[in-house]
Amino acid sequence: MNNIRKVFLLILCGMSELLLFAQEPEYSVLFRENTALNIRLNISIREVRKETNDTTYMENVYLHYENETSVWDSVQVEIRTRGDFRLKECFFPPLRVKIRKKHAKGTLFEGNKALKLVLPCSKSRDNNALIVKEFLCYKLYEAITPYTFSTRLVQIDLWDNTGKRPKNYQLTGFFIEDDDLVADRFNATVKDNLTLHPLALHDTSAIRHDLFQYLIANIDWSTTYMHNEKIILTTDPLRYIPLTYDFDQSGFVNASYAVINPDFGMSNVRDRVYRGFCRKDDRVILYVRDQFIELEPSILATMENYHKMLSDKDYASLEKFVGEFFEVMKSDKLFRSEILDKCRTE
């Protein structure tokens, strides 16, 4: 009887996965290419910090970009600062870019009303490498689930007009699409200011999310308090799905400014802590575990796509780090001690 129930559960999970992956994704032109986009931005970092906030934008800024025919074009945008930790701690502030429909029409940015622009934190020698690793987290999640933010790597020629002499920085960054576009892809709505227990999330989507956070050793998130998370509600069927973002505090990125939380028993930013909630039936998480094991080649292939953007030392460290995750996934003993016995009950 137990075997029959197990088969029935796996069939239900399989049907659920078909529903999740069956929809044909639609992306704006900006996110249809995987190549890095060359852009130029001329701003005063000091003025952006001083004059903008969550509601106030700096207007009449022109973002220059190299289009698909290698010709430089521009689009009028509005920008403001965003975020919390990086806004306070970093030299380059994270930005939000708003584009009015009339200005975006006919450009590479058509269909995008708002974008996040992730910049390096500091002027340190490894600043661009850290951004590549954070960007890679998004690409790894794409290999795991369709419920992700689209991203586009950018090479930024940034001129900072603060002071008498403008300073130039050659930076790597990336755009993140607006959450409404993700929701539209799945005929869903974004649920802001939602009070929802994590166990109310769609089970396989939530477990997939939690194991991914464990993969990259990230604890800087909460689906309960919607910290670095968005929740969308699909309509057919009705399901709450988590969308995760902001991975600079993860062990995968391994930034020098990452904060360690001793409350989780961490002594190093690369210490993995599973923060998913316990389930009444382990068979669902075991089903998702098998999915991760099957996805190992795709995950490693995704990493290989960006090998050239990292030093051999950095890349070898990432390979070893991800390999340690799959050691846990493939070992019944380790999976029991590190995941099943460490799941949250409150």
Pick the closest to residue 145 from 49, 267, 23, 10 (CA basis).
23
**In the structure encoding, which two tokens stand for residue 66, read together?**
């190299």
**Is-cis flag, bond preceding 297, omega within 30?**
no
Pick the closest to residue 64 from 105, 93, 100, 107 (CA basis).
107
List C-alpha distances in Å: 149 to 8, 89, 139, 152, 178.
Answer: 32, 25, 9, 10, 8
What local confidence, expressed as pLDDT, does residue 195 receive? Answer: 87
More confident residue, 105 or 10: 105
What local confidence, expressed as pLDDT, does residue 68 receive? Answer: 87
Q: Under a CB-based contact definition with an 8 Å cutoff, are residues 75 and 99 in contact? A: yes
Span 293-329, pLDDT tens digits: 999 999 999 999 999 999 999 999 999 999 999 999 9
**In the structure encoding, which two tokens stand for residue 69, read together?**
């025919």
Task: For residues 107 and 68, give the distance between their C-alpha atoms in angstroms, rounded to a whole number.
Answer: 11
Q: What would the mean pLDDT of 221-228 be, rounded to a whole number?
A: 94
Contacts of 178 (CB under 8 A, 6+ apart): 112, 113, 114, 115
Task: For residues 260 and 267, give the distance between their C-alpha atoms in angstroms, rounded to a whole number.
Answer: 7
Burial of residue 13 (number of CB atoms within 10 Å: 0-12, 13-18, 19+):
middle
What local confidence, expressed as pLDDT, does residue 26 receive? Answer: 74
Pick the closest to residue 208 from 111, 289, 138, 122 (CA basis).
289
Q: Under a CB-based contact definition with an 8 Å cutoff, are residues 315 and 307 in contact? A: yes
What local confidence, expressed as pLDDT, does residue 236 receive? Answer: 84
Q: What would the mean pLDDT of 263-279 be, rounded to a whole number?
A: 94
β-pairing verdict for 151-160 and 37-43: parallel
Q: Under a CB-based contact definition with an 8 Å cutoff, are residues 16 and 237 in contact? A: no
Q: Under a CB-based contact definition with an 8 Å cutoff, are residues 275 and 213 in contact? A: yes
Predicted confidence band at 24 (pLDDT cuts at 50, 70, 90)?
low
Span 243-270, pLDDT tens digits: 999 999 999 999 999 999 888 889 999 9
- Calculate the CA dihedral of residues 39, 40, 44, 45 and round it to 10 degrees: 30
Q: What would the mean pLDDT of 153-182 be, rounded to a whole number?
A: 96
Q: What would the mean pLDDT of 197-209 be, rounded to a whole number?
A: 97
Task: For residues 170 and 92, give the distance between their C-alpha atoms in angstroms, rounded to a whole number.
Answer: 12
* In the chain, alpha helices (H): 2-21, 45-51, 85-89, 101-104, 127-142, 179-185, 203-215, 282-304, 312-330, 332-335
User: What is the model's pTM?
Assistant: 0.92
List C-alpha distances in Å: 127 to 20, 43, 44, 89, 170.
Answer: 36, 20, 20, 14, 11
Whether the per-residue pLDDT at 87 is higher than 80: the answer is yes
Residue 176 DSSP symbol: E
**In the structure encoding, which two tokens stand for residue 248, read together?**
């600079």
